[in-house]
Chains A and B, each alone.
Chain A
């Protein structure tokens, strides 16, 4: 099923679709930071306290999706290099834009970002003190839970991290601008009749994802530099 050139495209598209769904849910989750410490903490806590097989099942599923997606991407790229060993003296295009031609580049940087992001906020090995941040705010039973809110503020107060984060989200936006519509082509569900509309949805989705993710680190930096106050200022004192 997945061994032919078309089969590989089905894999790219199906795993891409899983990741499209994931980034949307993740973005919606993040935006709860604007609803305050209690809201985002209780949301984070409810995810952490899912039954272990649901939590680890989803994690493994996502990990497998991104690994299959990246592995298939690199194998397509290697095969395609072999298929066209000699370059033209002048390489030109009529239709393909930057986003479609640079899927491998944007994907690779996204992959690097995902690794960094997991070390930063999930495994918390870059700043081990994040693991010790606990509070009872947002806790359903009043016990000490992980303080996701404080970690987010602390994490994004570093300019270089926030900038990397926003740049990575821009590249994800470019990846999706081609990828979203491309999924339908790869699965045989696109036609020229509705390609224009689909491309519009693709465009809108890509920018929504960019905006929804970037607004969190940007709001922290904006407050840090005293331009506008989004959050309780006491979190910025230390």
Chain B
């Protein structure tokens, strides 16, 4: 298939950036979106043009490294799909495809389509962990965990931290990410000791990183390649309120 690509180019964080249009021919329907980008870059190299920078790593939908806003949708219009798992057969011959970086103040553009998502790391460092003694691994089932809680924690842990929630949010809010990371640990017995501190610190860091405020649109969950539910946001709201109220009395 032949496509017209309208791609965002930006030489660095200070550059204001602009779109560039490229024609690409003979794209296989079986190739992934990133393979199509590879093909484009080879074509650009042959013509002596600087290739387009974009993020990728595992290319099997588990690392959260790929990004791209495709025709306005984070990771493209398909539900529950990362860009690396998006196939070109979902597009039609002759389509014009707009490709932009994930846009948010907290995700500054590094170059072209690559954005700096390290504010997510800061949120994790603020409480997305449990403090534990190192040493030999504990027995598998030493701590009993109700199946339902384990399932919910696993669903939250499915978050790959790609940032599609922020990119799809009109308010650039990081609530879905933060709530999945906090919720995952808050649901488990191992996470209880640090629960209140975790919630307060992660929310504080989230706010300080320049993300917007959640307004309950639900776009994040709709764009999430792992279908993280809005229930985790409700849970974060609840856990945060509880922690704040407890603080009032201590």
B217 at the interface (CB under 8 A from A): yes
Q: Which residue on B lies nearest to A6, using beta carbons?
A: B240
Among B172, B211, B222, B237, which residue has its beta carbon within 8 angstroms of that of A9? B237
Note all chain A residues with C-beta closer than 8 A to B217: 93, 95-96, 100-101
A4 at the interface (CB under 8 A from B): yes
Which of B19, B203, B213, B217 has its CB near the most chain A CB atoms (within 10 A)?
Answer: B213
Contact between B238 and A83, CB atoms less than 8 A apart: no
Contact between A178 and B231, CB atoms less than 8 A apart: no
With known contacts A84-B104, A88-B103, A5–B239 Cβ distance under 8 A? no
Contact between A89 and B19, CB atoms less than 8 A apart: yes
Which residues of A75-97 have CB atoms within 8 Å of chain B's CB atoms?
76, 79-80, 82-96
Contact between A88 and B214, CB atoms less than 8 A apart: no
| A6–B169 CA distance with the chains assembled, in angstroms | 16
| Chain A: minimal CB distance from B158 (Å) | 15
Among B100, B170, B203, B237, which residue has its beta carbon within 8 angstroms of that of A101? B170
Contact between A92 and B72, CB atoms less than 8 A apart: yes
Contact between B239 and A94, CB atoms less than 8 A apart: no
Q: How many residues of B contact A (CB 8 A)?
A: 51
| A192–B235 CA distance with the chains assembled, in angstroms | 12
| A80–B170 CA distance with the chains assembled, in angstroms | 8
With known contacts A5-B206, A84-B104, A89-B98, A188–B239 Cβ distance under 8 A? yes
B73 at the interface (CB under 8 A from A): yes
| A100–B222 CA distance with the chains assembled, in angstroms | 15
Contact between A79 and B105, CB atoms less than 8 A apart: no
Contact between B170 and A182, CB atoms less than 8 A apart: no
Note all chain A residues with C-beta closer than 8 A to B171: 76, 80, 83-84
Which residues of B149-178 have CB atoms within 8 Å of chain A's CB atoms?
168-173
Contact between A96 and B241, CB atoms less than 8 A apart: no
Contact between B105 and A1, CB atoms less than 8 A apart: no
Contact between A188 and B238, CB atoms less than 8 A apart: yes
| A178–B79 CA distance with the chains assembled, in angstroms | 23
Q: How many residues of A contact B (CB 8 A)?
A: 41
Which residues of A153-205 have CB atoms within 8 Å of chain B's CB atoms?
178, 182, 184-192, 195
Which residues of B221-236 have CB atoms within 8 Å of chain A's CB atoms?
221-223, 229-231, 233-236
Note all chain B residues with C-beta closer than 8 A to A84: 103-105, 169-172, 212
| A87–B241 CA distance with the chains assembled, in angstroms | 32
Among A1, A8, A82, A94, which residue has its beta carbon within 8 angstroms of that of B222? A94
Contact between A83 and B172, CB atoms less than 8 A apart: yes
Q: Which residue on B lies nearest to A182, using beta carbons?
A: B216
Contact between A188 and B234, CB atoms less than 8 A apart: yes
| A95–B212 CA distance with the chains assembled, in angstroms | 19
| Chain B: minimal CB distance from A76 (Å) | 5
Q: Which residue on B lies nearest to A179, using beta carbons?
A: B216
Note all chain B residues with C-beta closer than 8 A to A85: 105
Contact between A191 and B231, CB atoms less than 8 A apart: yes
Query: How would residues 1 to 44 of chain B score, 1 for a CB under 8 Å from any chain A CB and 0 otherwise?
Result: 00000100000000000010000000000000000000000000
Note all chain A residues with C-beta closer than 8 A to B105: 82-85
Contact between B216 and A185, CB atoms less than 8 A apart: yes
Contact between A79 and B212, CB atoms less than 8 A apart: yes
Among A1, A89, A190, which residue has its beta carbon within 8 angstroms of that of B244? A1
| Chain A: minimal CB distance from B14 (Å) | 14
Q: Which residues of A approach B to under 8 Å, CB–CB?
A: 1, 4-10, 76, 79-80, 82-96, 100-101, 103, 178, 182, 184-192, 195
28 A-B interface contacts by CB (under 8 A):
A6-B241, A7-B244, A9-B214, A10-B241, A76-B213, A80-B170, A80-B213, A80-B215, A83-B172, A83-B212, A84-B103, A84-B172, A84-B212, A85-B105, A88-B72, A88-B100, A90-B72, A93-B217, A94-B79, A94-B222, A95-B221, A100-B215, A100-B217, A101-B170, A186-B216, A186-B237, A191-B231, A191-B234
